[in-house]
Amino acid sequence: MRWTDTKEEVALFGTNFGMMSGHTFYTTGLYTTDRKTAIDQDFAHFARMGWDGVRLALWGDWENCDKAGNLIANEHLDLLDYAIARGRERGVYFLFTPMHTYPPGIPPEQREALPGFARYYPKKELGTNPAAIAAQCNFLRQILAHVNPYTEVALKDEPSILFIEPINEPIHHPEDFAGSVAYINALADAVRGTGCNKLLFFNYTQDVTMAPALRASKIQGVTAAWYPTSLGFQHNLRGNYLRTVDDYTPLRDAALAQMPRLVYEFDTAALIDPYMYPAMARAFRGVGVQFMSMFMYDPLVSAQTNFNWPAHNLNLVYTPAKALRRSLPRRPCAGCHGAGVTAAIRRTPGSGLSA
């Protein structure tokens, strides 16, 4: 992937950010009622560290729609809009994932009151149930057509959003090749039907046997995650884990050749020391990754308690050794130029596609 104005290679680094929804929305609310100021604080941190790539994963399928996928404008959507506007001002480029699939980690009585379709359709049915697929497509069309009041630009046209990943970590069905391709294409068509020309990505590492279906679909690239020390340990690990990050073999699959790849989540959770990050970055770059977002930034207002994830800490103030600083030059902010990203992807031998 290259920038359309300079033809230079895209190389973005940053973090996942989720204050607008789910359990991060809930936990920050225990400390402040002014989440917009909290967003300002965190994006100021990103600028200090030179981070220019942020993944926004929204629990939109739970919190921002009804059973049919009709968009609901509420505080979650307002905070998403606000974060996009503030990120654009600070030169941040986004991977946008509007549907999350997992239940948000909030009190059960609050979760059971959420209106979205993900409450009604089991996660395993999202790729197979026609009603669930119709709701997803409807939601994608409506949220991308939504006009951000802070920028006066529809999300489908937002220059700081470079990549769309329609859904976070779906349950794949590689045994049903035709059905898998049809589902992915339905989501892709919903995005394209809005006039959105952002580069489209789909999850790969939830089930690497999906490579042939992903290759045959209308998406243009794949997303991957890496937790070499796992994610759910309840204590910090001891020992040397460098041997586990010498290479990232999943993205060496020949079926993915010439398909752009993003790392939507990575971390050395349960390790407070940062020694593995350079090796992981080397491994990612060795397989052509052009966007890496750490998981997950703990907002300043609540980071002192590490309330978001067990044995996982990422905040400039409280874990400065893990708050990696980017040393490469940054591009101007998205609002200051009209450039986008282009990717040439070979679909079949001898053919090409640009977006």
The C-alpha atoms of residue 125 and residue 106 are separated, in whole angstroms, by 23
Type of residue found at 315: N
pLDDT in tens, 94-104: 999 999 999 99
Classify residue 111 by burial, with Cβ atoms within 10 Å: 0-12, 13-18, 19+: middle
pTM: 0.94
Q: Indicate if the pLDDT at residue 285 is higher than 70.
A: yes
Average pLDDT, the chain: 92
Q: What is the mean pLDDT of residues 337-341?
A: 65
Please provide residue 336's backbone torsions phi and psi, each rounded to the nearest 5 degrees: -100, 0
The C-alpha atoms of residue 16 and residue 186 are separated, in whole angstroms, by 26
165 CB-side CA count, 13 A: 29
Task: Band the pLDDT of 328: cuts 50, 70, 90.
Answer: low
Domain extents in the chain: 2-354
- Count Cβ atoms below 10 Å from residue 207 Cβ, excluding itself: 16
Task: State the DSSP code for 272.
Answer: -
Q: Indicate if the pLDDT at residue 57 is higher than 50.
A: yes
pLDDT in tens, 65-89: 999 999 999 999 999 999 999 999 9
- Unique residue bearing structure tokens 């590492």: 205
CATH 3.20.20.80 fits 2-354, yes or no: yes
Nearest to 47 by CA among 340, 253, 326: 326
pLDDT in tens, 213-251: 999 999 999 999 999 998 877 788 888 999 999 999 999
Q: Indicate if the pLDDT at residue 122 is higher than 50.
A: yes
Task: Band the pLDDT of 351: cuts 50, 70, 90.
Answer: very low
Q: What is the mean pLDDT of residues 104-131?
A: 96
Cis peptide before 296 (omega within 30 of 0): yes
β partners of residue 213: none
Q: Is 53 helix (H, G, I), strand (E, B) or coil?
A: strand
Beta carbons of 17 and 54 less than 8 angstroms apart: yes
